[in-house]
Structure 1
Amino acid sequence: MTKPETGPVLLLNLVLLLTLVSPVCLSAPRGHAARYLGQIAENCAAGTPVDGVTLQDTGGCSRTNLGTSLTGEYATHFRLVYHRGHLGQQGHLGLVSARALDREFIAVYKLRVECARVPALVQVTVSDLNDNIPRFIGGNVTVEVDALTPRGTALTRFGAEDADAERNGRVTFYASPESHLLHVHARSGQVLLVGSLLGLSHVTLRLFVKDGGDAPLTGEPVFLRVHVCGHGAHRRRETRSVSEEQNFTITVPDQARVGDLVFTVPDHRFQQRWFQVTSEKEEESPVQVERDSGRLYLARPLREPAQVTVKVQSRRADDWYLCRLTLSMLSQADLQWTMFPSPYLGAVSPDAMPGTVVYRLSAQQRDATQGHAQFLLLDNDECFEVDRRSGEVRTTGRPLTPGKEYLLRVQALDQQGRKGASAYVSVLAGYRPPQFTNTTYRVNVAENTPAGQTVAMVKADSFQVKSVSYQLLVNPGNLFSINQQGGALSLTRAVDYESGHKIHNLQVRASESETGLSSVAEVVVHITDENDCTPEFLQSIYTRENVPENMTPGSSLLQVLARDCDSGVNSDLSYFVDDGDFAITSGGVVSPARHLDYERPNHMYEFVVVAVDAGTPPRTGTASVRIRVSNSNDEAPVFSQSVYKTFLSEDAGPDTLVAIVHANDLDGDMVSYAITGGNEDRNFLLDNHKGIITLRRSPPPRLRGLQYVLNITATDDNASGGPYPLSSSAHVVVGINDINNNKPVFQECHNYSLNAAVLENQPPGTFVLRVRAHDADTGVNGDVRYGIMHRDGVSSAFEIDPDSGEFHSCTTTRTDARCGLTVAMVTCVC
């Protein structure tokens, strides 16, 4: 959006005329205007609906009879659209934007929709988007401070503005990179000294400002340049002002006499202080101040308003501030003269007729408001008079002495008749040479200003109303030329601040050819520096070899240095790096910001260092930095796996390969291996160099259980030169696969015959006995099932559960010769 003009937000009353449409609002009494509150975001595309505004098509206003017209300032920002109802629903009117809206231009629209029956009032608020970048008020700042300035001292304050509203318009100040010497208050922009300046000559701080939007916008940076003044016994310490000046207006009674107390300078900042009048002409000051108390006494009659400056100095420190006092009496007017140029000169022919105007007086209030002043001629000069209202100084007709200078003292009065300051007008009876508007012209010319471009205008007024021509009397190096008729001063060639003189003193003569009169004025030209030089590093590539990777962060690696051929703040350089692994000081000293790593590609860091000057806009130069790192033992061996898994048969024989482990040392050291746990029965052997794990040869291994967990440690030989060897561990999990090499064995077999009994006539299924067998194998090889072996041709009177081993009768038991049975039991291993 177009950047808005600063000032209050416009509230526009827009009138939308709509015939035969009656909006409905339940909160509005019949016959009164309905009220709607709508909202729309700024920068939305044209045609965006306004939320909260729906005007129902009721009250006899049909869509076909809509005849809309839009009047009022900026009325074209919106338009009405009709939405047809569906499935018996009423149609309605909606409000949409006709263009993208800018909240900074108009924040609230007040609209009126006129219908034949019921009107509607609509207020549309434009919500703010963060579409304006904050900017600093003013540019770079340079301050001078003493090396012993206390911590916590406020050095300066920056201001910024953002045209957005509310949170989007709130600005936050910050420095980048941050400084351990200076602190920037985020809200106020005040810069505080938080570190010691001893040993420093200057400090440069780059400041940024950002807004408070969800996606903050950041403005262009400015630089704060702090010049540190040295401190020593041979050099007087510069005092410093602690805050802004104070201003007081003092009304002195008309009856006050010399020696009367007229005012006491207030001070609530210092416990002990002294006071001093610091006006340029202290001996002509109308007042004197008592050094210890600040009492102000009238030193001479106050004939006209006067301004006096009093310095309030702390006795305990070099802090001070100024009080500016304006003194006047009730009978005196607060007027100031506005004639130009000064001194006030005039000329008149000795034969001038009576009433000839030789000068015109003018005055205004000190607050720059124009009043109706009146004028008096204080000295009783019979040759001149002053018109009280117009201020015209005229001749009276009395004879004038040729060549005589008449000094007229005049005074201005305000509308209440109070007297203002007096002035002197010098009138020469005869020809007076031209008068320059300035006795001395001081001009700043930027270097690289093209030849022929006007750099200053000198002007002289002719009292005889003749043409004036201009000529350069003193022109060192013929660097300047002047237009003879207009007085325009220009360069004859471009100048370079860095290679030539900085100050040129010229003399210009203004001449009247008809009278031969002339006058001379001085022109002092200061050549100012432009930021036209780019910082250049002394080397394009800076290198440092064999930097140990265990170097402590913050240690100095190398120093880079750049030069800028500009001067002043334009040559003040700040250094930055584009690599987070390194930091750089304001003096160009590069140091690691974190621990270095030898295992980088090519064992080298390469990054760019940037030098930025403090000019506007800033210029930058770059150089490359290469840091080659030497190895140190800071990396422990790393296994290819943290856990190795393998399987062996429980009958595996001697020298059987179990697993191969491998660890790599990033420092390049040799690695040795050892079993440091899980090999209590010493079934496993490990090759210390190759990492090969096998079963022992003698005695033959005997594997038991479901698995073995071996702890393997890899240790480097510290050949890279660390303080001690480093190691790491991994686990080898060896699962044991079972084989079926054990027979089932019955438990308590000798008791089975003793316990096997059943009563006579018991029904089939009667429990007789439970047998148990055990197999030393594991898994399915250790699962036991039971069965009965029968003699050939003989059926059994009992049966056995194959899983539990329980015997039950198959028939009704009887006591006869066959009741004693011998049963052979067989166990089966599944």
Structure 2
Amino acid sequence: MMEPVKRYVLLVLLLSFVYNISASVTHYSIPEEMKEGSVVANLAADLGLDVKTLNQRKMRLDIIANKKYLDVNKETGELYVVEKIDRENICPTKSSASCYLRLEVSLENPERLFNIEVEILDINDNAPQFRRDVSYLDISEATPKGERFSLSNAVDPDVGTNSVKTYHLSESEYFNIEVQTGRDGSKFADLILRKTLDREKQAVHNLILTAVDGGTPARSGTASVIVRVLDTNDNAPVFDKSIYNVNIMENSPIGSLVIDLNATDLDEGSNSDIIYSYSLYTSEKTQETFNLNPSSGEITVKGTLNYEDFRIYDMEVIATDHGANSLSGQCTIKIVVEDMNDNHPEISIKSFQSPVNENIELDTVIAVVSVSDKDS
């Protein structure tokens, strides 16, 4: 009969022990970054404990799975800050807007256990930051206006209104931004081309993207966005002159420089590489007499020049770039061969009377002589 009674009494004591330990959770809310020594609340009063017995009952405060940021003054029963609390260190992820420190308060004689929950409220102590200080975008000058380009977003460890709220772009006639909101509430910006680019006018655009949070006062962070304009073949080669006039001596040896043509192309790379050639309007005789270097544009003497045979040469030269859709420019050249004294006079007798009478009258024509010289 004694054994069942002992078991019953033991069960009653166990239930009583559980009842004394268990209690509802006491909740507090404090902002992060409170100074060391700041009082959170009078824990003893809130838990209905006699302050005079806290030392005797060996009151102990344990923080669950966290560093000990808080403690209890056993003389006053006050819960106070031991070390500054950085909410972003305690709750590094932003999956939840709430961040808690969970504590256990234990006492002896009798055994009591209280659960304390301290919510750490966010303050705007972080500015938005971009993952990269400088971002590069390569955009072709042929890109139509209205095209969108993704920009690197900024991150802010703070939560709620203290996180990134919007973006601003430095003033630009070519670009603006549109702020988008992701499914998780994060903000990001798209760069929008508002005006067609011209590499020859401006090859690089330096922009400043600013991220601003919603805190009071607001904090911000910036990043550079460098847009490099890629070239398209939209410029044709242009000669220094459209018409050239050149004089050359007829005794100029083969290989002599006649003229060094120069055409320029405002494009870059292969779009500005130029090759020179004669047009179809340049005669075969001219091409046989003068050589055109296709790479440099130099025209040199190729055949013998003779003023008496041919005095003026007309040619048309085309400069063509190496772009995918090549463009070209042209010029005309007039080469005038100058005479030099390289011919002897020639004498011919047209008529001649011989012999003549000794009594021939004065001014009587005896002979007609013709003298000619091919030189000018």
TM-score range, shorter chain: 0.5 to 0.7
What pairs with 1:127-206 in structure 2 (closer than 5 Å)?
Answer: none
Alignment match, 2:125: 634
1:637–1:664 Cα contact (<8 Å) kept? yes
For the residue of structure 1 that corresponds to 2:217, the secondary structure is: coil
Q: Aligned in 2, Cα 1:797/1:546: closer, same or farther, shift over 3 Å?
A: same
Shift of 1:553: 3.6
User: Are 1:778 and 2:261 counterparts?
Assistant: no
Alignment match, 1:708: 205
Out of 39, 44, 49, the position equivalent to 1:556 is 39
Aligned partners of 1:793, 1:760: CA distance in 2, in Å?
A: 19
Paired amino acid for 2:312? G
1:581–1:594 Cα contact (<8 Å) kept? no
Out of 191, 214, 218, the position equivalent to 1:693 is 191
Shift of 1:556: 2.0
Paired amino acid for 1:733? I
Aligned partners of 2:240, 2:27: CA distance in 1, in Å?
A: 83
Q: Aligned in 2, Cα 1:623/1:815: closer, same or farther, shift over 3 Å?
A: farther
Q: Aligned in 2, Cα 1:747/1:582: closer, same or farther, shift over 3 Å?
A: same
Shift of 1:770: 1.0
Aligned partners of 1:676, 1:565: CA distance in 2, in Å?
A: 66
1:557–1:592 Cα contact (<8 Å) kept? no
2:61–2:103 Cα contact (<8 Å) kept? no
Shift of 1:724: 0.7
Question: Which deviations, in whole Å up to 9, do the C-alpha atoms of 1:102-130 show, x marking residues without a partner?
Answer: xxxxxxxxxxxxxxxxxxxxxxxxxxxxx
Question: Which deviations, in whole Å up to 9, do the C-alpha atoms of 1:125-162 show, x marking residues without a partner?
Answer: xxxxxxxxxxxxxxxxxxxxxxxxxxxxxxxxxxxxxx
2:139–2:228 Cα contact (<8 Å) kept? yes
Out of 240, 243, 252, the position equivalent to 1:747 is 240
1:546–1:629 Cα contact (<8 Å) kept? yes
For the residue of structure 1 that corresponds to 2:270, the secondary structure is: helix
Shift of 1:762: 3.7
User: Are 1:605 and 2:125 counterparts?
Assistant: no
Paired amino acid for 1:715? V
Which has a greater percent of helix? 2
Aligned partners of 2:252, 2:119: CA distance in 1, in Å?
A: 98
Shift of 1:655: 2.1
Which runs of 5 or more residues in structure 1 are unaligned?
1-536, 613-620
Q: Aligned in 2, Cα 1:565/1:551: closer, same or farther, shift over 3 Å?
A: closer
1:711–1:729 Cα contact (<8 Å) kept? yes
Aligned partners of 1:810, 1:610: CA distance in 2, in Å?
A: 109
Question: Which deviations, in whole Å up to 9, do the C-alpha atoms of 1:392-429 show, x marking residues without a partner?
Answer: xxxxxxxxxxxxxxxxxxxxxxxxxxxxxxxxxxxxxx
Paired amino acid for 2:298? E
1:580–1:593 Cα contact (<8 Å) kept? no
Aligned partners of 2:211, 2:34: CA distance in 1, in Å?
A: 26
Aligned partners of 2:192, 2:56: CA distance in 1, in Å?
A: 75
Out of 174, 182, 202, the position equivalent to 1:683 is 174
What pairs with 1:310-329 in structure 2 (closer than 5 Å)?
Answer: none
2:271–2:321 Cα contact (<8 Å) kept? yes
Alignment match, 2:298: 806
Question: Which deviations, in whole Å up to 9, do the C-alpha atoms of 1:605-627 show, x marking residues without a partner?
Answer: 23567999xxxxxxxx9976532
Out of 69, 74, 79, the position equivalent to 1:582 is 69
1:686–1:694 Cα contact (<8 Å) kept? yes
Paired amino acid for 2:193? L
User: Are 1:725 and 2:222 counterparts?
Assistant: no
Alignment match, 1:651: 142
Q: Aligned in 2, Cα 1:640/1:585: closer, same or farther, shift over 3 Å?
A: same
Aligned partners of 2:198, 2:106: CA distance in 1, in Å?
A: 68
Out of 580, 591, 594, the position equivalent to 2:84 is 594
1:651–1:702 Cα contact (<8 Å) kept? yes
Aligned partners of 1:796, 1:726: CA distance in 2, in Å?
A: 76
Paired amino acid for 2:217? Y
Alignment match, 1:494: none
For the residue of structure 2 that corresponds to 1:547, the secondary structure is: strand
Aligned partners of 1:606, 1:793: CA distance in 2, in Å?
A: 98
2:61–2:104 Cα contact (<8 Å) kept? no
Paired amino acid for 1:652? T
Alignment match, 2:312: 820
Alignment match, 2:342: none
For the residue of structure 2 that corresponds to 1:654, the secondary structure is: coil
Q: Aligned in 2, Cα 1:806/1:710: closer, same or farther, shift over 3 Å?
A: same
For the residue of structure 2 that corresponds to 1:802, the secondary structure is: coil
Out of 140, 156, 168, the position equivalent to 1:674 is 168
Shift of 1:538: 9.1
For the residue of structure 1 that corresponds to 2:170, the secondary structure is: strand
What pairs with 1:102-117 in structure 2 (closer than 5 Å)?
Answer: none
Aligned partners of 2:284, 2:304: CA distance in 1, in Å?
A: 20
Q: Aligned in 2, Cα 1:805/1:545: closer, same or farther, shift over 3 Å?
A: same
Alignment match, 2:9: none
1:648–1:658 Cα contact (<8 Å) kept? no
2:34–2:84 Cα contact (<8 Å) kept? no
User: Are 1:829 and 2:327 counterparts?
Assistant: no
2:197–2:229 Cα contact (<8 Å) kept? no
What pairs with 1:270-669 in structure 2 (closer than 5 Å)?
Answer: 543-558=26-41, 559=43, 563=54, 579-580=66-67, 582=69, 584=71, 587=74, 589-597=79-87, 600=91, 602-606=98-102, 625-639=116-130, 642-659=133-150, 662-663=153-154, 665=156, 666-669=158-161
**Percentage identity across aligned positions?**
21
What pairs with 1:218-229 in structure 2 (closer than 5 Å)?
Answer: none
Question: Which deviations, in whole Å up to 9, do the C-alpha atoms of 1:288-327 show, x marking residues without a partner?
Answer: xxxxxxxxxxxxxxxxxxxxxxxxxxxxxxxxxxxxxxxx
2:141–2:196 Cα contact (<8 Å) kept? no
Out of 713, 720, 737, the position equivalent to 2:230 is 737
Shift of 1:603: 0.8
Alignment match, 2:279: 789
Aligned partners of 1:806, 1:563: CA distance in 2, in Å?
A: 104
Shift of 1:591: 0.7
Question: Which deviations, in whole Å up to 9, do the C-alpha atoms of 1:584-606 show, x marking residues without a partner?
Answer: 47647431512331682641123
For the residue of structure 1 that corresponds to 2:278, the secondary structure is: strand
Aligned partners of 1:716, 1:565: CA distance in 2, in Å?
A: 50
Aligned partners of 1:768, 1:610: CA distance in 2, in Å?
A: 106
Q: Aligned in 2, Cα 1:785/1:745: closer, same or farther, shift over 3 Å?
A: same
Paired amino acid for 2:253? P
Aligned partners of 2:30, 2:23: CA distance in 1, in Å?
A: 20
1:650–1:736 Cα contact (<8 Å) kept? yes
Question: Which deviations, in whole Å up to 9, do the C-alpha atoms of 1:542-597 show, x marking residues without a partner?
Answer: 7442211242343122457885659xxxx7x8878785461547647431512331
User: C-alpha root-mean-square deviation of aligned residues, in Å?
Assistant: 4.0
Aligned partners of 1:779, 1:610: CA distance in 2, in Å?
A: 78
1:575–1:611 Cα contact (<8 Å) kept? no
Question: Which deviations, in whole Å up to 9, do the C-alpha atoms of 1:446-493 show, x marking residues without a partner?
Answer: xxxxxxxxxxxxxxxxxxxxxxxxxxxxxxxxxxxxxxxxxxxxxxxx
For the residue of structure 1 that corresponds to 2:85, the secondary structure is: coil
1:714–1:728 Cα contact (<8 Å) kept? yes
Shift of 1:675: 1.0
State the structure with bigger RCO (CA 8 A, min sep 6), 1 or 2: 2
Question: Which deviations, in whole Å up to 9, do the C-alpha atoms of 1:316-342 show, x marking residues without a partner?
Answer: xxxxxxxxxxxxxxxxxxxxxxxxxxx
Aligned partners of 1:824, 1:627: CA distance in 2, in Å?
A: 89
Alignment match, 1:327: none
Q: Aligned in 2, Cα 1:797/1:731: closer, same or farther, shift over 3 Å?
A: same
Aligned partners of 1:658, 1:564: CA distance in 2, in Å?
A: 66
